[in-house]
Chains A and B, each alone.
Chain A
Amino acid sequence: MAKLPVSEENIVTLFGPHKNYSPKEGYEGRDEPDQLVKTHCCFCGMQCGIQLSVKENKVVGFEPWMEFPFNEGRLCPKGVQRYLQNNHPDRLLSPLKRVEGQGFVPLDWEQAMTKTVSEIQRIQKEYGNDAFSMLSGVSLTNEKSYLVGKFARVALKTKNLDYNGRLCMVSAGAGNKKAFGLDRGSNNYSDLEYAEVIIVAGANISETFPTLTHWIWKARDRGAKLIVIDPRMIPLARTADIHLDVRPGTDSALYGAMLKYLVDHDMLDHDFIDNHTSGFQETLDAVKDNTLEWAEEITGIKKEKIEAAAKLWGKANTSFLLHARGIEHHSKGVDNVLGCINLVLATGRIGKPYCGYATITGQGNGQGGREHGHKCDQLPGNRDIENPEHRKYISEVWGINEKDLPGKGLSAYEIIEAIHRGEIKGLISICFNPLVSLPNSNYVREALEKLEFYVCIDFFLNETARHADIIFPGSLQEEEEGTTTSAEGRVIRIRQAVTPPGDARTDTSIILELAKRLGVKDKFTYDKSEDIFNELRVASKGGTADYFGITYKRIEDEMGVFWPCPEEGHPGTPRLWEDRKFKTPDGKAHFNPAPYKLPGEVTDADYPVILTTGRVVSQYLSGTQTRRIGKLVDQYPEPLLEIHPNLAKQYGIQQRELVKVSSRRGEGIFPANIVETIREDTVFIPYHWSGKKSANQLTPGTLDPISKIPEFKVCACHLEPLREIAPPSNESMAYASI
């Protein structure tokens, strides 16, 4: 059923992606807007403050918001151009249904709702409740994330709900829970200011969190030393004091050797280790053979550089360690995170001014969205869906019988696998484009084609939605009130600037209407977003992610409030662990052994080159939004294969020559960009594009056993130069993904 109803070209002609540009003179009314709405960027976890200019219910431009403390007006190119979505020709303006041979044709809301509800009920009656699944995403506000979690469990009554944070922060979350018993960056970014040493591991800050660059430099201006760990010379690494050009998939060997160095040279905080941690000895035993020579062999980093980095880290009085997807997108992503945490705990530099540790959450609401229950194993307040007390508490808040609350379901990639096996027959998705963002996209496409019924809520017809039976036109971030939680753990207000265009509706109203029609109207009685937030506050009360003391008014008055905030009089918690009371069962911070293991796939004679993937500054995730914004497309029009000149020479590859890159799962053709800024044994392709331009045709679906994150960052590949120079990039139309 869920095959494309007409050709992809036909769908693209009608629904895009089309590149949207502002008119040369700007949108009408831009110079005299009706209002400037103080809100936040819809893209990454920095959640920069921005003012949207609104004229006659349309977003017509932006103005920097100088007072918001994190970014003080600073923006990246995506933020500057974010306003071009509300007024976009590709916006979905009415519900659509799939008609074989005709494509997607409009229908009214009543018909779309009736069809959807009858299909959900049919599938669940025939195959059981769990045969209907839901996939969600963390560009959604806290209110919508909470609502989706409740909707799936109470209205759909399915256990199979998961979210795109599964591709993002779950390794960090799992690692933080093991070590600290809580999943949040331990510090806000003002603790970078006087850090003496900063380690940035697997985080291309200048392209993926550009506004954080300023905070790094603030520290450097005061003498901080910067250590960047990345297989590529990323912009931040160019001026770093030490660049550790790690071989993809070997990060934990590096951390093991650094920890051993700290131990061998007694650069340890014994008081902290003795009184506030557990597991040190086992962790030590796991690294006892991790010599510098061994680490050089495994990681490909010169041992002198590893030693210099360990020495800098060991001697510092203050420090901040940041990491992101570069170390987390691995079949041992959790181990990598734990390896970093071990370095922090060994020096005791946490819970004190300018002593910090944090994952840099990727998505806009990657922090808040991973706390309130649209993960397959989680209930609001970062509660555990398998914990009887947690289940009881949330069942009471929701007014349901605990035995009716589903248990732990499958994670995102596992849902796709279950669809592929024919176990899951139906899917509702919102804010997730798995055909582009999941690994092994050919396999994902096969799964989508097997669905009996697929309904998608989105504001644009993303690539996955092309496989849907019904599409509900939903809302942009700026089309609803709500809150998000930035990467710092700061809960902030998202403002409704405009109402959704045409017959599009707010995501919330669509979910509420479905809940009503599924017979649980009495459990979903909210007049406005704030009502949902107030229920979320109660649902989170007593959980580790406690929002009870946070109100809309406080967020507005205080420019955001950092959770945990258990009471209204509580000031919020910008810096965790000052009290040394960790949230683990024994109240201590836990060292965890993280011995080096091979990645899920290693190079061999057939696939001799390492492929790693990542992002570029002008695009965001699967590109649903940014491949529709003209200037962001033009800035980096197509995915390029970054390759070192020495490797290119081995294959006789010329600059911009087309290269067929193949793995055990698929192949794609990419123009070569020959640069010295990458390791000689590694090639890089950014992943924002779909179809034949998708890097995820190649990547493996190997999952971390704990976090279930796929291994996007290591893949064995084969290169075949095609002896043909690529056409000019603006002719490739890669953004349209045909």
Chain B
Amino acid sequence: MNYTNFNIHEEFFVDMQRCIGCKACELACAECETNGQESMIHVNYVDRASTVQTTVQVCMHCDDPVCANVCPADAISKDEFGIVHTANTERCIGCSNCVMACPFGVPKKEESYDLMMKCTMCYDRTSVGKKPMCATVCPSGALFYGTKDQIQEMRPNSTPVNTFVFGQEIVNTKVNIMMPKGSTELIIF
């Protein structure tokens, strides 16, 4: 990879409390030429019967990506900027190891292509200095792409967190989620 315009200071931030469930991110993501009208970001109701709360799940781009570690075909790689790329189409054997291993449930096997597909943080856009499409269009600020300084100045009541504790496992990610001020990690029970 020899892109020089990838801004290593810019990061991705997700703030679930702002998600309005509109799916602008999904529809915009699907427009990407490499996605074949499928979205790599997913918005879901938590429990529509009791609330309008939605969640939005994007690839968290783990520091030590389990999806890549469990891939028997070495199809998934992490680059120098911390982007965990979607499966190399020539290598991917459609085994779904990554689908089962990801703690965030991100990779999806697209049966029609017999391939795993996932978010690459819009590498075609971010590598030329643009923001990812989902974070560009998000009308509520649930998705934001910029520097940590920017978001901390803009949202002083929240703290970006990128450490997730799954039982004994600690996962650090490139993508941050916004949590109440002073938080340092998210413990998943």
Contacts and interface: CB of A to CB of B under 8 A. Distances in A.
Interface of A: 21-26, 30-31, 61-62, 64, 66, 71, 73-77, 79-81, 206-207, 210-214, 217-218, 221, 233-236, 238-239, 617-618, 631, 635, 645, 655, 673-677
A635 B137 CA distance: 17
Contacts of A61: 31
A674 B22 contact: no
Interface residues of B, number: 34
A659 B123 CA distance: 48
A212 B141 CA distance: 11
Contact of B157 (A23, A221, A236, A655): A221
A30 B33 CA distance: 9
A206 B20 contact: yes
A633 to B, nearest CB: 12
B139 A676 contact: no
Given A75-B137, A76-B22, A80-B31, A677 B51 contact: yes
Contacts of A71: 139
Chain B interface, DSSP helix/strand/loop, else mixed: loop
B172 interface: no
B91 interface: no
A618 B33 CA distance: 23
Given A61-B31, A677-B51, 4 more contacts: A80-B31, A238-B52, A676-B50, A677-B52
Given A64-B137, A73-B137, A617 B22 contact: yes
A210 to B, nearest CB: 4
Contacts of B33: 25-26, 30-31
B20 A80 contact: no
B126 to A, nearest CB: 14
A206 B17 contact: no
Nearest to A234: B52
A210 B139 contact: yes
A238 B53 contact: yes
Contacts, number: 110
B136 interface: yes
B139 A211 contact: yes
Contacts of B140: 206, 210, 213-214, 217
Given A26-B33, A238-B51, A674-B49, A214 B139 contact: yes
A635 B156 CA distance: 34
Given A21-B37, A75-B28, A221-B154, A207 B20 contact: yes
A149 B83 CA distance: 56
Closest 8 CB pairs of A and B: A206-B20, A210-B139, A213-B140, A235-B20, A211-B139, A75-B137, A80-B27, A24-B36
A217 B151 CA distance: 13
Interface string B50-65: 1111100000000000
B48 interface: yes
Contacts of A238: 51-53
B52 A235 contact: yes
B23 interface: yes
Contacts of A213: 18, 20, 139-141
Interface in B126-184: 131, 133, 136-141, 154-157
B52 A75 contact: no
B49 A64 contact: no
B18 A217 contact: yes
Contacts of A22: 31, 37
B49 A675 contact: yes
Nearest to A232: B52
A80 B136 contact: no
A614 to B, nearest CB: 13
A241 to B, nearest CB: 13
B28 to A, nearest CB: 5
B82 interface: no
Nearest to B153: A221
Nearest to B131: A73
A214 B141 contact: yes
Nearest to A24: B36
B66 interface: no
Contact of B24 (A31, A77, A239, A675): A77
Contacts of A64: 133, 136-137
B37 A75 contact: no
Contact of A77 (B27, B51, B131, B156): B27
Nearest to B35: A24
A234 B137 CA distance: 21
B21 interface: yes
A654 to B, nearest CB: 12
B139 A76 contact: yes
17 contacts: A23-B37, A30-B33, A31-B33, A64-B136, A71-B139, A73-B131, A74-B139, A75-B28, A75-B139, A80-B137, A210-B139, A213-B139, A218-B154, A233-B52, A234-B52, A635-B23, A676-B49
Contacts of B137: 64, 73-75, 79-80
Interface string B90-129: 0000000000000000000000000000000000000000
